[in-house]
Amino acid sequence: MNPLKAAFCRTFQFGFKAAIPFLPYRNPDILNSVDEIPSLLKKQGIGNVMLVTDKSIRGFGITSHLEEILVKENIKLTVYDKVQSNPTVHIVEEARGMYLADGCEALIGFGGGSSMDCAKAVGALIARPEATLKDLGGMLRIWKKTPYTIAIPTTAGTGSETTVAAVVVDEESGHKYALMDFPLIPDVAVLDPETTRTLPPSVTAGTGMDTLAHAVEAYIGGSTTRLTRQEALRCVRLVFKYLERACKNGNDMKARRGMLRASYLGGHAFTVSYVGYVHAVSHSLSGQYNLPHGETTAILLPYVLEAYGSKIYPQLKALAIAAGVASMDTDEGLAARKFIKAVKELNSIIGIGTKIPAIKLADIKKMASFADKEGNPVYPVPVLMDAKELERFYYETYEGED
């Protein structure tokens, strides 16, 4: 990256880091079971809610218990179940239309990151009816209070239940972008492992590694606080302890609960301390090819850590200790390599590959420029890279024949 742009990025990041103590971060209230939702809504004086979910979650019957207890408690329910992975602008606008037509007063995002992000994006449009999603993309563009929002993750996870972000994709350009503002932090997060019981191993694996990437990228970045460093280390400990177990036996509720907790901690760590180029590159890939975010992120993570080199050895040593693959006595460089190796091994054990077959050479330049736009100057990454330098990650994970 040229020195002028690098200086601009670092100045911008320094400003944001200095502002952290003054920014209105808040934690959602936590519920341990969906059974607690009706009484909570009544306490808030809410009698008409919109459930935002997807057809497969609903088809599996995962939302049926909540739907039943809401109806039983005379809470009017509107269901929008057309969310797809990577919610499009069209989907968010359609759900907003239903919300307004039915006079809803609150949102429940029930599902993976896409359903929760869709609910949060609907909330943004309700708060700012004059704006388009594109207007609200980027940092701090919403400002106004969004409707009361409950997030129920069925994956562990994107961390969307605690973050300031909602990611949407413009279906015409393929550009995936995030709305990031404090009103998007849900009011309530329901961490109920029962909702993740039927999650297939491949989704458990991808979303679990996404959680790991949140903690790792937050920890190695330049905007950590004491709290986010602790959260990231606890998250890494939990992922290395429980992810393999949750993938092998979906009914292992202790592992499922551990992963939900990890997701929440990782989500909170990165909402304050940001992610990095793993996410910037991953978003550009899933925007272009509609790939699952977790798996793409998992594949990219070791490549990006290797590219940062010795600059992040001290942080990787701490992460290696949290993961249980190094001790205080281990040499820094060795511990760093052990951590990257442990990430690769965990990927392999839970069935995640090392390449992204969807990548087409002709798309790399455009995707790298999207990643550059997302990452710079916002993400306080340990080593700055511009679009040209970011292209390496697409070539390294490229497997096609064109």
| Contacts with Fe ion, residue ranges (CB under 5 A) | 210
Residue type, 90: H
Q: How far is the CB of 307 from Fe ion (least distance, A)?
A: 18
Contact 307, 393 (CB under 8 A): yes
CA distances from 56 to 28, 63, 287 (A): 26, 10, 21
- HSE, side-chain direction, 13 A CA sphere, residue 232: 29
Q: Which is nearer to Fe ion, 38 or 109 (CB)?
A: 109
Phi, psi of 5 (to 5 degrees): -65, -40
177, containing H or E segment: strand 175-180
- HSE, side-chain direction, 13 A CA sphere, residue 174: 14
Q: Which is nearer to Fe ion, 8 or 289 (CB)?
A: 289
Rounded Cα–Cα distance for residues 31 and 278 (Å): 31
Q: How far is the CB of 296 from Fe ion (least distance, A)?
A: 9
The closest of 162, 154, 184 to 250, measured between CA atoms, is 154
**Six-digit token pair at 281?**
């590159």
Q: Which is nearer to Fe ion, 105 or 181 (CB)?
A: 181
Q: Which is nearer to Fe ion, 210 or 231 (CB)?
A: 210
The beta strand positions in 19-102, using DSSP E, are 29-31, 48-52, 76-80
**Six-digit token pair at 37?**
């939702």
Rounded Cα–Cα distance for residues 251 and 216 (Å): 27
Q: Which is nearer to Fe ion, 210 or 244 (CB)?
A: 210
The closest of 48, 29, 28 to 38, measured between CA atoms, is 48
Q: Which is nearer to Fe ion, 81 or 210 (CB)?
A: 210
Q: How far is the CB of 240 from Fe ion (least distance, A)?
A: 18
Q: Which is nearer to Fe ion, 89 or 275 (CB)?
A: 275
Q: Which is nearer to Fe ion, 96 or 176 (CB)?
A: 176
Q: How far is the CB of 285 from Fe ion (least distance, A)?
A: 12
Q: Which residue has the CB atom at the shortest distance from Fe ion? A: 210
Rounded Cα–Cα distance for residues 39 and 195 (Å): 19
Q: Which is nearer to Fe ion, 283 or 337 (CB)?
A: 283
Q: How far is the CB of 371 from Fe ion (least distance, A)?
A: 14
Q: How far is the CB of 215 from Fe ion (least distance, A)?
A: 10
Q: How far is the CB of 293 from Fe ion (least distance, A)?
A: 6
Residues whose CB is less than 8 angstroms from the CB of residue 337 and which lie 6 or more positions away in sequence, other chains included: none
Q: How far is the CB of 142 from Fe ion (least distance, A)?
A: 20
Rounded Cα–Cα distance for residues 90 and 171 (Å): 8
Q: How far is the CB of 137 from Fe ion (least distance, A)?
A: 17
Rounded Cα–Cα distance for residues 34 and 157 (Å): 18
For 38, the 3-state DSSP assignment is: helix
Q: Supply the DSSP string of 201-244, one letter for each residue.
A: HHHHHHHHHHHHHHHHHHHHSS---HHHHHHHHHHHHHHHHHHH
Q: Which is nearer to Fe ion, 70 or 218 (CB)?
A: 218
Q: How far is the CB of 210 from Fe ion (least distance, A)?
A: 4
